[in-house]
Amino acid sequence: MSEENKPQTVADFLEVAERAQFQKETGFSVQLVTRAKRVGLFPAHWFWTVREYCDRRGIEVPEHLFKGHPDASGKDAA
């Protein structure tokens, strides 16, 4: 996936990742996913679970959307 097609926000990622399926497969509740979307960042401890989900689905891992990543801004247009 090119930089220009890479999800820029948590909301973008959830659209590409099919939010309902993402929640089901990762076990993250609607409330937790909604909070991540509102904050604009995924919690750092979600990384490995999200990575496994992305690997299974053929989606690029959005590393820049995790708290603690140098490029993480927390700004989301949700």
Instruction: Parse the chain into domains and list their residue ranges.
Output: 3-65
Q: Name the CA radius of gyration of the chain, rounded.
A: 11
Alpha-carbon distance 69 to 20, whole Å?
Answer: 25
* Residue-by-residue pLDDT tens, the chain, 78 positions: 455 567 889 999 999 999 999 999 999 999 999 999 999 999 999 999 999 999 999 999 889 999 877 666 665 444
What confidence score (pLDDT) does residue 78 get?
Answer: 42
Let me know if 74 is exposed, middle or buried by CB neighbors in 10 A (0-12, 13-18, 19+): exposed
Q: Cβ distance 71 to 6 under 8 Å?
A: no
